[in-house]
Structure 1
Amino acid sequence: MGVLILFFGLFLLAGWAVALGWFGYASSVLWRVRTQPWVRTDGHPCAPLLLPTPAYLRFDKALAVAALLADLWLLSGIVLFGTEGIFTEDWMGYPGMMDPAGQGYQAEAVDTLRTTAWWSASVAVLGRCWTTAFVQLTVLPLLSALWVASFDTYYN
């Protein structure tokens, strides 16, 4: 129980550096593949739109990991700040004093996670980063929004 909070705490402290480092790696991948073709020229007319080249697919995978790390950092912040008197889940332990200013915290956190998921997935679709869009819509932001929405609070 405390191990999960410790994980979120450590990721909140160092996760921004990990996410920025991986965004730097994704940028370096993009820089290395700049001379290679990004669009397929053979096959069906829809192939250039739907099927990226292997070079662009490497960038897409690196960007998906970076987005996932950034989402995990955001979720860590939401969970840890919510333990200060808002969430009362058993695995969190005693959350502290009740804070009347935190009544809308859970709803705002869920809205932030959903908004992050839809905006990041939309930008990924515009950039033809299909793996990143899939990760943003299925893996962390929307599932974590449902998870945070299921927490017991003092105000429910």
Structure 2
Amino acid sequence: MSAADELLDIVDENDRVIGQSPRGEAYARGLRHRCVFIEARDAQGRIFVHRRTPTKLVFPSLYDMFVGGVVGAGESYDEAALREAEEELGVSGLARPEPLFKFLYDGGEGRTWWSAVYQVRCELPVSPQAEEVAWHGFLPEDEVERRLSEESGWAWVPDGLAAYERLKEYRRSAG
């Protein structure tokens, strides 16, 4: 089964399931679905950053500071977070990612999805999937911030940027 054929739950503005659709159709028709974003940090607290492959259905070849992806039909956010984190990092036996908050991402042009943000510590050696990740590294937070500037030349996924800004605000307000 291709990624475009993966079945997704379609949800309303309150994150209630109202139907199902193959991923490719959901993207083409701008149907609201669910995604997970997991910030993975290593033992030194550095953030896992990667560049997506050019074959990705959404945001090909852009950089991201989260691992994650769509929540499959009938799958919980928590199940998807662990599955996606292990798949994208190329590890097994990862601790269950900690849920932090949810928000409705609206990127315009029918790109809207409910987004659950998580964090996890990954002290295992990573081996990301070649079909998902073109480049990766664990970067200190200050370097991630430098790379976010337009002068860096790094183009970032817009939903990841939205999640990252909300995560920084969440951490500021928590403490």
Give the shorter-chain TM-score range.
Answer: under 0.3
What TM-score, normalized to structure 1? 0.25
TM-score, normalised on structure 2?
Answer: 0.23
